[in-house]
Structure formats: C-alpha cells, structure tokens
Chain A
Amino acid sequence: MLLIKALGGICVISACGVWGLKASRSLERRREQLKDLRMAMNFLEKEITYMHTPLSLALARTAYYSEAPISFLFELSSRYLSEKKGLTGGEAWSKGISFMRKHADLKEKDIALLKTAAQQLGMSDASEQKKYFALLQEQLKILEERALQEADKGQKIWSYGGFVLGFTVVLLLL
C-alpha cells in the first residue's frame, strides 16, 4: 500500500513538474518566436520596399529565410496567393496566421498585432508600406521586451512551481 502511495505521489509530482517545465519552456519559446517574427518582418519589409518583389514571392522568400513555426505563416500565405483563386493578401495572411498559431507559443495579443497587418499588406505604395512596417517592428519589439521580462520572472516560477504544486497535492492527498 505504501509502495502504491509512493508511486502515485511520484507520478503526481512528475506530472505537475513536467507541466511546469513545459509552461516555462513555452515562455522562452514565445520570446524566441517573437524575435524570429521581427526578423522575418524586417526581411519582408526589405523585399517589399526596396526590391518591390510581388507579395506572393516576397512571402515565399521570407518563409525560406525564417525559422519554423514562424515560417509557416509566410509559406502558407504565399501558397494561398500563388493559387490565384481570388483571395486577397489580407485573407491569405489571416489563413496563414490561423495555421501558424496552432504550432506557435504566441499569445492572443501577439496574434492580434499580426492580424492588423492583414489590412495593410501590399495594398499601398512603397512609402506607406515602409511606414507600416516601421510601426509593426516597433510594436513587435515592445512585445518581445515584455516577453523577455515575463520569461525571466515566469520561468523560475513555473519550473519550481510545478514541482511545488505536485508536492502540495501529494501532501494534501496524504
């Protein structure tokens, strides 16, 4: 009986610990993904404002030079646009976001920021696009800094918190 209780306790503590570690890792991944996103947007801006590359091709090139899961956003948007089935750039972008968010650790506010790009992407002249990208970069930078602070604070809490919670549950059950 004691052995079963001990095994049960270890299972509870391990499960809570792994949950805490995963949450902690997710915070770190979110920060990394926001950084990748900012870099990718920077690349896309250059393709649009300096190279004047058509949007579908610019998105495909950005996908090639960015890391997964952020690259999924650009790859999928580019694919939808290349099919030429009447989708606008904004609609293709929104579909790309929906697919990417399933694989990314981004929060709702990060996604909301990305969604604002749907109305702007491609449908103005280069100088307007440049202004929009500059604004987007600034907002992404702020999100990234906050994500860094959250990761610094949250990582320890979640890493140890999971195990502490596990111990507490076990103590309560005993």
Chain B
Amino acid sequence: MALLDELIVKKEVISYLSPPIRELFCCLKKDVYAQLEEIRLRCAQPVLLKIGDKDFSIDEQGQMNSSINRGYRVSEDDIYRTVAAISDNSLYAFEEDIKRGFITVPGGHRVGLAGQVVMKGHEICNIKDFSGLCFRIAREVRDCARPLLHHICDSKKCRVKNTLIVSAPRCGKTTILRDIARLLSNGDISRACNIVVVDERSEIAGSFRGIPQLDLGPRTDVLDSCPKALGMIIAVRALSPQVIITDEIGRKEDVEAIQECVNAGVAVVSSIHAGNLEELQKKPLLKELLSMGIFQCAIFLSRRKGPGTVEEIIRWD
C-alpha cells in the first residue's frame, strides 16, 4: 500500500515540483508518502510537508526534519517552474481555476495558489506573481463510508435520507462524501441510485478538464466547477438524479435549492462546516432548514482518531 502511495504521489504530485525540490524527495521513506497530506511551497521559506497534524521540512540532503528552519528554502524560480508545470505553461487555459484560487492536476490533487490578487470591481479577476503553493493530496479511502450507509439509507422505503456530514475543516468530510457517492452509485448496500455530484470546488470528484479523476461509481454524473445552488436545480431538471451530493453548503441560495430538490423527491447529502450540533444550530440558515425537518440525519466527524472519526450520529426521522 505504501509502495502504491509512493508511486501515485511521485507520479501525480512530485513530478510537478521544480527540479531542485523534486530531487529532495528521492531520499524520503515510503511510509512518508502514505501519510503525506500537503506539500507547501512559500517563497523564501522552507518546503513544508504536512503529515497528520505536524509540519516537517526537507533539508538540502533530502532528510526530513521536524525543525523546519533547516529545510530547503524555496526560491522564486522554484515557484515559477512549479506554476509552469501545473499549468502546462498555459496559465491562460486555467483562468477560471486561478480566479477561484486553485488548479486541479490529473489525479484530482488540488494546488492552492497564493500571490497578488487582481480585482475588477468587487470580483477577483486574476492572481499573478505567485508567492505560495499548497499541494493537497487527494486520496480515495475506499469503504470509509460503508459503516455509515445504514444510517443514510432508509431500507424500508428504499430511499436515501437527506443527510448532513458535519465537521471542522480537515476532518474528512469530502472523502466521506466521495465514498458515499461511490457506494450508492454501485448499489453495494442499498438499491443503486443515479447520483449527481455538484462539485463547485472540484474537490469531491477531483475533475481535470471536466473528467472526474476519482472513482464515484458507474451511475454518477458530475457538474464540475458549478455553483451549488445552480447545479442542484440543473441536476433535478436535466439529469434525473435520486441523490444529489454536494460540499459545504451555507449560502441562502443553497438552502433554497435544497428545499427545491427535496420537494422534487430528490435526496440531498451534503457537508457543512461546524464543530458540533450547537455550532450547527447557530448558523441561521441551517437553523431554518433543521426546523423545517428537511434533514433526517447528521453525522459529526473529527480528527480525534485520525481524519474521518465519527463522533456522533443524530437522526431526526
């Protein structure tokens, strides 16, 4: 497994780094690749590897170090070459992605961009003079949602319940959503469903040029880079889904779109940022949704025993 992780990370992530940084990764142990979550490059700062909750750097001999100041310092040229590699030397072809602050590379890995933001009116029209990059390694954790499926699926009515996956950032919401999509689409436990994933930030499917890079099952359609509210309405009208899966709801229009989906008989499985039920109920828009009884199940996650630890499951059905 560690070998597979090493091969995938080297091929799909490390290959985009500038040659001097790429060479540093040659000496790393296989286990590091299996646990690696992020690689951060910041101009004039050490290369940082995020493993679990800790940061490590790599020194010029390629040795991993918990003292980050000993790490190889990233140069402007490293940033330029890495940006050139991830954009295939074609920043113009990634304008929309850059406006949203990231570029997705084949394999579904996201590269967050930091630099000078150019505004036009009240909207971001470009980011230029890049100063920092954050590679977030996308991982499929197959069957991580399998134990949750019997809470999500109503076996008597043969339908999926409207479900919220709730946690603070980096607790595995997206990975769980992705696996729910795959399992429901495969029909592994319940009856197979037509799924539409409305993937506003290309995180769930990790699409590259519109094609999902991660396995979402055979009955899943993906609306990539589509605003959630708009995507949910399009999906109901055009793709006849039984379940819509989307990430990080929170705006007024999202709530209205969810109401419309539920009224059309389509189940919604979504994630939302909140640490616990109290925090969830403090969100005014969610409070409204919860009081209307639209959601029948909420699954609370944490990182207590690693990403995806199920803390609590609340059922309102």
Contacts and interface: CB of A to CB of B under 8 A. Distances in A.
Given A123-B84, A124-B128, A125-B126, A86 B22 contact: yes
A20 interface: no
Interface stretch (B47-55, B68-76, B86-94, B174-182): B86-94
A124 B85 contact: no
Interface string A85-128: 01011001000000000000000000000000000011111101
Interface stretch (A5-13, A45-53, A138-146, A165-173): A45-53
Nearest to B127: A125
Nearest to A52: B93
Contacts of A92: 89
A130 B83 CA distance: 20
A88 B80 contact: yes
- Counting chain B residues whose Cβ lies within 8 A of the other chain, the interface size class is 20 to 34
Contacts, number: 60
B292 to A, nearest CB: 43
Contact of A49 (B80, B91, B92, B126): B92
Question: Which of B22, B85, B92, B95 has the largest number of chain A CB atoms within 10 A?
Answer: B92
Contact of A81 (B81, B89, B95): B89
Contact of B81 (A48, A53, A88, A124): A88
Nearest to A77: B89
A122 B89 contact: yes
A86 B89 contact: no
A89 B84 contact: yes
B211 to A, nearest CB: 15
A137 interface: no
A53 B93 contact: yes
Contacts of A123: 80, 83-84, 89, 91
A86 B92 contact: no
A138 to B, nearest CB: 20
A55 B89 contact: yes
Contacts of A66: none
B18 interface: yes
Contact of A125 (B19, B88, B92): B92
B74 to A, nearest CB: 15
B259 interface: no
Contacts of A84: 15, 85
Given A88-B84, A123-B84, A125-B95, A54 B126 contact: no
A129 B92 CA distance: 8
Question: Which of A58, A88, A126 has the largest number of chain B CB atoms within 10 A?
Answer: A88
A86 B88 CA distance: 10
A52 B96 CA distance: 12
Contacts of B84: 88-89, 122-123
20 contacts: A48-B90, A53-B90, A54-B88, A55-B89, A55-B90, A56-B88, A81-B88, A84-B15, A84-B85, A88-B81, A88-B84, A88-B89, A89-B84, A89-B90, A121-B89, A122-B84, A122-B92, A123-B83, A124-B92, A125-B95
The 6 closest A-B pairs by CB, nearest first: A89-B89, A126-B92, A122-B89, A55-B89, A86-B19, A54-B88
